[in-house]
Homo-oligomer: A and B are copies of this chain.
């Protein structure tokens, strides 16, 4: 099984067993949900729990938490810290399907984008320091067009109002000494 291909129920079982762990219907269902999740979607433990509940394939919340954590540690899922106070998960698609996230800190709208050079820079830094790269996540915190149209930052109810954010017209070419 190539590290660039997707997990199947069979390959998940194989990897679990190789570590002395077990395949279960719960783990298979969870894998299935993530494999069929439309591109650009992310699920929190709670959301995954509700989704399965609605489908009549209920799994206890404890098991949900345990499973996504395990699958993240195995490299099957990616654990994301977006801007909502809880973790989100998605299938971990290694290079070249690796992507990053643009998040509106006002409304939590999240867009994905591909950029291979970020992985390249991360690898370079790892090599320089003798680390072994596992994953890299660029999170771009920004304000979406909708929030801008609504008058961000002044026209907003006790929310973000950054007055010294990095200017979009800042010079960006030269290296600092």
For residue A163, CB closer than 8 A to chain B, the reply is yes
Interface residue tally for chain A (C-beta within 8 Å):
66
* Residue in contact with A165 in the complex, picked from B129, B130, B133, CB distance below 8 Å: B133
Most chain B CB atoms below 10 A, which of A76, A166, A170, A175: A166
A120 to B117, CA, bound (A): 11
B142 & A126 in contact (Cβ 8 Å cutoff): yes
Known pairs A129-B102, A160-B73; A166 contacts B114 (CB<8 A):
no
A102-117 residues with Cβ-Cβ distance < 8 A to B are: 102, 104-105, 111, 113-117
Question: Are A161 and B126 in contact, CB atoms less than 8 angstroms apart?
Answer: no
Is B143 touching A131 in the complex (CB atoms < 8 A)?
A: yes
Given contacts A113-B125, A125-B113, A129-B111, contact A138 B118 (CB under 8 A): yes
CB contact under 8 A between A116 and B175, given known A94-B164, A126-B168, A143-B134: yes
Q: Are A166 and B94 in contact (CB under 8 A)?
A: yes
B138–A162 touching, CB < 8 Å = no
Output the least CB separation between A116 and chain B (Å). Answer: 6
A 87-108 to B, binary, CB cutoff 8 A, 1 in contact else 0: 0000010111110001011000
Contact of A134 with B141 in the complex, beta carbons under 8 Å: yes
Question: Contact at A116–B172, with CB atoms within 8 Å?
Answer: yes
Nearest B residue (CB) for A76 = B164
A122 to B165, CA, bound (A): 13
B117 touches A121 (CB 8 A): yes
A122: nearest chain-B partner, CB-CB: B140
Tell me, rounded to whole Å, the shortest Cβ–Cβ distance linking A92 to chain B.
8
Chain B residues with Cβ below 8 Å from A159 are: 73
For residue A116, which residue of chain B has the nearest CB?
B172
Kindly state whether residue A68 has any CB partner on chain B within 8 Å: no
